[in-house]
Amino acid sequence: MARHDRKAKNQTSSNLNKAEGDNETRNSEPDSSSFVRAGFVRRLLAMIYDTLVATAVGMCAAMVMIVTLVVMLKNGALDLQGYAEPADLIQASFGYKLLIQTWVGLWIAGFFLWFWRRGGQTLGMRAWRLRIYSTVEEPMTWPRLFIRLVASLGGLGTLLVLFDFKNKQSLQDRLAKTEVLKLTKEANDHKSW
Residue 30 lies in a domain: no
For residue 158, give its domain range: 36-185
pLDDT at 19: 37
Residue 18 lies in a domain: no
Say which residue, 20 or 58, is predicted with more confidence.
58
28 vs 3: CA distance, rounded Å: 11
pTM exceeds 0.85, yes or no: no
Phi and psi at 186, nearest 5°, equal: -65, -40
Q: How much is the average pLDDT of 24-53?
A: 80
Q: Who contacts 10 (Cβ-Cβ below 8 Å, separation ≥6)?
A: none
Residue 182 DSSP one-character state: E
Any idea which of 20-29, 164-173, 180-189 has the lowest mean pLDDT? 20-29
Quick one: what percent of the chain has pLDDT higher than 70?
81
Residue 20 lies in a domain: no
| Cα angle: 103, vertex 104, 108; to 5 degrees | 120
Q: How many domains does the chain have?
A: 1
Q: How sure is the predictor about 191, in pLDDT bands with cuts at 50, 70 and 90?
A: low
Any idea which of 26-35, 57-66, 151-160 has the lowest mean pLDDT? 26-35
Amino acid identity for residue 137 in this structure: E
* Beta carbons of 161 and 131 less than 8 angstroms apart: no
Residue 28 lies in a domain: no
Q: How much is the average pLDDT of 5-27?
A: 39
124 vs 75: CA distance, rounded Å: 41
Say which residue, 86 or 14, is predicted with more confidence.
86
pLDDT at 165: 87
Residue 7 lies in a domain: no
Residue 17 lies in a domain: no
Residue 25 lies in a domain: no
Amino acid identity for residue 109 in this structure: A
Residue 40 lies in a domain: yes
- Give the residue from 8, 96, 110 showing the smallest Cα distance to 58: 110
